Amino acid sequence: MSRAPAHSPPAAAERSLAVAGLRTRSVADQGLLRVASGPARGRTRYLVGALSLAVVTLMLFPIVVSFLSSIKTPAEAAASPPGYLPSVLSIDNYLKVYQYQAGLPTYLFNSLAVAFFTIIFCLVLAVPAGYGLACFRIRAKEALFLVLLSGLMVPYQALLTPLYLMFTGLHLANTHIGLAVVHTILQLPFSVYLMRNSFEAVPRELEEAAVVDGCNSLQALWKIFLPAVRPAMVTVILFAFITSWNEFIGALIFMNKETQFTIPIMLVGVRQGHFGAIDWGALQAGVMIAIFPCLLIYLLLQKYYVSGFLSGALK
């Protein structure tokens, strides 16, 4: 693993150690570090630094200039040729988004309500399923597990047409619950997978203690297991939120009434502006509002996010 010390000995010392045959653990790690981050010697070290700086600049450029445009005056945001920096600071673009059609609070509420139900559905379905799969002997368990993962093999985009018919019949079109169901279809395989792994990782001793205490399976789940799998639940919640908040085509199809739009669909409307002219300033303010919660979550909960990402995508 990559537990290389942050302050590594200089290359010369390392070489002499290697020559002396004293290949300690830290030397091995040093070797990894070099493979990992390039030969950290002399000129190449500066090259790596310069490259990193260039990459960071390029990646941040779009978000930074979009933010700067969102705080320009509407006229300056629409100016051609454009400037990088605002000459006067203004919150007019944000006010415009705030007052757009049914008003930003309505759209924020829609997005949050859909995300909330998505989170609830994912937890209510995936936590027991993970528990059942990990802690019980079930006939044809792996086949049932595959059924639960079938959402991975069937792209949900293909299901949108029959789902739309079904939801129109059930009066679920244009409802928060309806769209949350679509988002749960999307998110359930990952959630079940993660919960199963997490329940399986609970130490056997804890399980046995529960049996000795005479807990039934529900009590054991509640008292012993849930506290132990809490990090996985946080990851499930996190991903359910981000998926739901960002999801586009489902929201576009199922929320076709203006008062029911979620934030991404509202944004497309904001771009249209009035009389066909694109309102560039308001659009950037809208983009900032849409990406803010995602960035905040990423910055605050990066550890959960990245680890969930790694365990879900490949293993």
- Interface with another protein in residues 146-205 (CB under 8 A): 147-148, 150-155, 157-166, 181, 184-185, 188, 192
Comparing CB distances to another protein, the nearer of 88 and 314 is: 314
Task: Give the range of 64-72, 88-96, 112-120, 229-237 binding another protein by CB under 8 A.
Answer: 64-72
CB of 134 to another protein, least distance (A): 9
CB of 47 to another protein, least distance (A): 10
Q: Tokens 């490949």 correspond to what residue? A: 314
CB of 60 to another protein, least distance (A): 6
Q: What tokens appear for 236 in the block?
A: 């499930």
Among 75, 248, 259, 300, binds another protein (CB under 8 A): 248
Closest CA to 180 of 188, 169, 189, 190: 188
Comparing CB distances to another protein, the nearer of 220 and 229 is: 220
- Residues 175 and 196: their CA atoms lie apart, in Å, by 31
Comparing CB distances to another protein, the nearer of 91 and 138 is: 138
CA angle centred on 253, ends 252 and 258, rounded to 5°: 60
- Residues 23 and 30: their CA atoms lie apart, in Å, by 11
CB of 229 to another protein, least distance (A): 14
CB of 163 to another protein, least distance (A): 5
According to the binding rule CB under 8 A, does residue 71 interact with another protein? no
Comparing CB distances to another protein, the nearer of 13 and 55 is: 55
- Residues 313 and 223: their CA atoms lie apart, in Å, by 30
Q: Judge whether 272 and 258 are in contact, CB under 8 Å.
A: no
The number of residues making up the chain comes to 315
According to the binding rule CB under 8 A, does residue 65 interact with another protein? yes
Contact mark string toward another protein, 102..141, x via CB under 8 A: -------------------x--xxx-xx-xxx-xxxxx--
**Footprint (CB under 8 A) of another protein, residues 1-30:** 1-4, 6, 18, 23, 27-29
Q: Tokens 């390039």 correspond to what residue? A: 38
According to the binding rule CB under 8 A, does residue 85 interact with another protein? no
Helix axes 230-246, 176-200, angle to 10 degrees: 150
Q: Judge whether 65 and 222 are in contact, CB under 8 Å.
A: no
Comparing CB distances to another protein, the nearer of 95 and 125 is: 125
CB of 85 to another protein, least distance (A): 11
- Residues 246 and 65: their CA atoms lie apart, in Å, by 21
CA distances from 220 to 49, 205, 209, 223, 303 (A): 52, 13, 9, 5, 28
Task: Give the range of 59-67, 88-96, 99-107, 229-237 binding another protein by CB under 8 A.
Answer: 59-67
Phi-psi label, residue 203: left if phi above 0, alpha if psi -120 to 50, beta otherwise: beta
Q: Judge whether 146 and 208 are in contact, CB under 8 Å.
A: no
Closest CA to 98 of 89, 110, 90, 108: 108
**Footprint (CB under 8 A) of another protein, residues 205-244:** 207, 210-211, 217, 220, 242
Number of residues that bind another protein (CB under 8 A): 114
CB of 169 to another protein, least distance (A): 11
Task: Give the range of 55-63, 90-98, 102-110, 226-234 binding another protein by CB under 8 A.
Answer: 55-63
